[in-house]
Amino acid sequence: MGAFNPAIVTPDWLLSKQLIDEQDRSYVLQDGEDRFITSSVFSGGRYAWVTLEFSRESLHIQSTSETETGERVRELAVGLLAALPETPVGRVHLSHFMFLTLNQEQTDRLTATLAPVGPILEHFRDAQFEAVEYRSTRERGYADLLVEPSHRDGYQLYVEYERVWELADPPGVDPAVAVEVLDGEWEATQAEASAIVNHLIHLA
């Protein structure tokens, strides 16, 4: 989150900064596929290995099923911020989302542990698990954990872990501060997300 100029982030600009290669540029600009859009208020591109979305308030980078490693997403984020040295950044979010495959007994056991419905059934009959969200205060920010039924076929639960660093009030600070967060906290945040998911599976 910060103060960005979406119109500048085109495939040609990304290529000139060596943040994508010629194959990426050709893919996103392929005729008839509508994989890229740009205006003064929004710029977005769906590349094979990553999705990029820029607005005036935020930069959003998301992996796809073809992303080789999470590290490649981090490298792109760092490269983008380094290429925009005069763009202030106020907040950094790292989100990890996972889909879990569980049998019905495991799903029921886990959701009953996270959000027992017994105490309210007398006054709210036929209650079913919809979602549960927790927030934990952390250094320079917080962490959120969301668990809800999966909307993807073949999976029973969706888990999202998001770590947020609040760097400064709007419009923000030097993007180098955000780069320090991405460089210094990336591995620990990934490890924490994995540990949480493993614990949820153990509870099931």
pLDDT at 52: 97
Residue type for 107, please?
T
Asked if residue 45 lies in contact with residue 36, where contact means CB atoms within 8 angstroms, the answer is yes
Mean pLDDT over each residue of the chain, to the nearest integer: 94
Asked if residue 75 lies in contact with residue 164, where contact means CB atoms within 8 angstroms, the answer is no
Which residue, 5, 180, 8, is CA-closest to 92? 180
Tell me the pLDDT band of 171, cut-offs 50, 70 and 90: confident
**For 140, left (φ over 0), alpha (ψ -120 to 50), or beta?**
left
CA distance 184 to 96: 17
Tens-digit pLDDT profile for residues 56-72:
999 999 999 999 988 99
Tell me the pLDDT band of 53, cut-offs 50, 70 and 90: very high
pLDDT at 123: 79
